[in-house]
Amino acid sequence: MTSRVPTVLVVVLVLATAGAFARTELLKLEPNPVSGPQVDKQFSPVCGCASDRARISFRLRRADHVGVTVIDRGGHTVARLATDAALPAGRASFVWNGRDETGDLVPEGSYRPKLELARHHRTIVLPDAIRVDRTPPVIRIEQASPRTISPDGDGRRDGIHVRYSVTEHANAILLVDGTQRAKTRFRPLHGTVSWFGRVRGRALPPGVHRLDLVAVDEAGNRTTSSAGRVRIRYVELWRTRIAVRRGGRFGVRYSSDAKSVHWRFAGRRGVARGGRIVLHAPRVRGTFSVVVSERGHAARAFVYVGRRAPAASKAASTSPSSGQSK
């Protein structure tokens, strides 16, 4: 009887080994209980934007009780998103706010979701890593020109072009008076963003506008840098009040990006180039207006024939006027 004991033990061990092997092979043949994982690649828990949380979703082939945790590179649990949650078959979704069990922000780095399936007695670590990134990019504005534009569609200084560089791949957003007006694509390290003085397809009237450039990385972190100001100007006159004797000859200086401008004065009209218009005053005393226009935009000056102009004409003659009419 004693001699049979080793034989029985050997048989039991063989059977147990065979059973375990068979079970392992069956598990290999059984479809994966989890499929279609979708995990955000990176996010910033401090960006205050739509990407301030990581979204984790997967599909269960059968209903199960599931635990969902987030682990670090060493396999340690840093956050628990669900404990023994009864989930039906189908897609399940969870979000992680980038904080640990105590509510503190986790360090920057890579993390992975881990699933514990009670019914299947299995633990699955999803292959897709989540990168926590809280560092905003640094943006440097290299050039912004021209500072005076005329968005009239003639191809001459129609828009401002801001050339920049960033320390990591990021999109650049150009804000005009605090509102987004242009944005780059594909997150280049060096790029140019342009604005052509239009809002919803319509050119803005003359004026000065504030520019800011915002860099936004893939995680949602952003940083803002001032790009200065841009002035919209179509045509401007250097003087808005001109005194001249009756029948006298006088000049009207203007600033414009257009190759030529049209003028009207005392019933006459013409085309001028080169920034200066030479006119003759009527022989009668009175107040007249000279209108200089290009592509529907106009500037006006008053001409006082045979009389003194108001004192403001001296100050106005030192620089181009800002008053314009459409």
Distance from C-alpha of 160 to C-alpha of 163, rounded to nearest angstrom: 10
**Residue 309's pLDDT band (cuts 50, 70, 90):** confident
**297: exposed, middle or buried (C-beta count within 10 Å: 0-12, 13-18, 19+)?**
buried
More confident residue, 87 or 7: 87
d(CA 112, CA 62): 23
Sign of CA dihedral 50, 53, 58, 63: negative
pLDDT tens per residue across span 149-160: 999 999 999 999
Amino acid at 54: A
The answer to whether domain 34-132 and domain 139-232 are alike in fold is yes
The confidence score (pLDDT) of residue 259 equals 94
pLDDT band at residue 4 using 50, 70 and 90 as cut-offs:
low
Quickly state the pLDDT bin for 317 (edges 50, 70, 90): very low
Q: Which residue has the tokens 């414009």?
A: 256
pLDDT of residue 312: 58
> Is 72:107 a contact under the CB 8 Å cutoff?
no
As a whole-number percent, the residues of the chain with pLDDT over 90 amount to 84
- What topology does CATH give the domain 34-132? Immunoglobulin-like (2.60.40)
| SS3 assignment, position 95 | strand
107, two tokens? 């360090």
Q: Are strands 148-149 and 139-145 parallel, antiparallel or unpaired?
A: unpaired
Q: Which residue has the higher pLDDT, 134 or 120?
A: 134
User: Residue 17: its pLDDT value, please?
Assistant: 55
Topology of domain 139-232 in CATH is Immunoglobulin-like (2.60.40)
pLDDT band at 3 (very low <50, low <70, confident <90, very high): low
Q: Is 21 helix (H, G, I), strand (E, B) or coil?
A: helix
Interval 38-97: pLDDT, tens: 999 999 999 999 999 999 999 999 999 999 999 999 999 999 999 999 999 999 999 999
Cα–Cα dist 55/300, whole Å: 60
Class of domain 235-316: mainly beta
Domain map (residue ranges) of the chain: 34-132, 139-232, 235-316
Distance between CA atoms of 42 and 55, rounded to whole angstroms? 10
Please report, for residues 34, 35, 60, 314, the alpha-carbon distance to residue 113 in angstroms, rounded to integers and kept in the order given: 13, 14, 15, 74
What does the mean pLDDT of the chain come to? 89
pLDDT tens, residue by residue, 240-253: 999 999 999 999 99
Given this model, what pLDDT does residue 207 score?
96
Query: Taking 80 as the threshold, does the pLDDT of residue 7 lie above it?
Result: no
* Rounded Cα–Cα distance for residues 220 and 217 (Å): 5
Distance CA 106, CA 88 (A): 31
pLDDT tens digit sequence for 174-192: 999 999 999 999 999 999 9
Tokens 């005393």 identify what position?
A: 285
Measured from the Cβ of residue 262, the count of other Cβ atoms closer than 10 Å reads: 16
Q: What is the pLDDT of residue 243?
A: 96
- Is it the case that residue 25 has pLDDT exceeding 80? no
Lowest mean pLDDT among 24-38, 91-105, 106-120, 244-258: 24-38
Whether residue 22 is predicted with pLDDT greater than 50 in this model: the reply is no
Q: Give me the helices (H) in 68-177, please.
A: none
Enter the pTM of the model. 0.78
Say which residues have a Cβ less than 8 Å from residue 89's Cβ, sequence separation at least 6: 60, 61, 62, 63
CA count, 13 A, side-chain hemisphere, 66: 27
What pLDDT does residue 310 have?
85
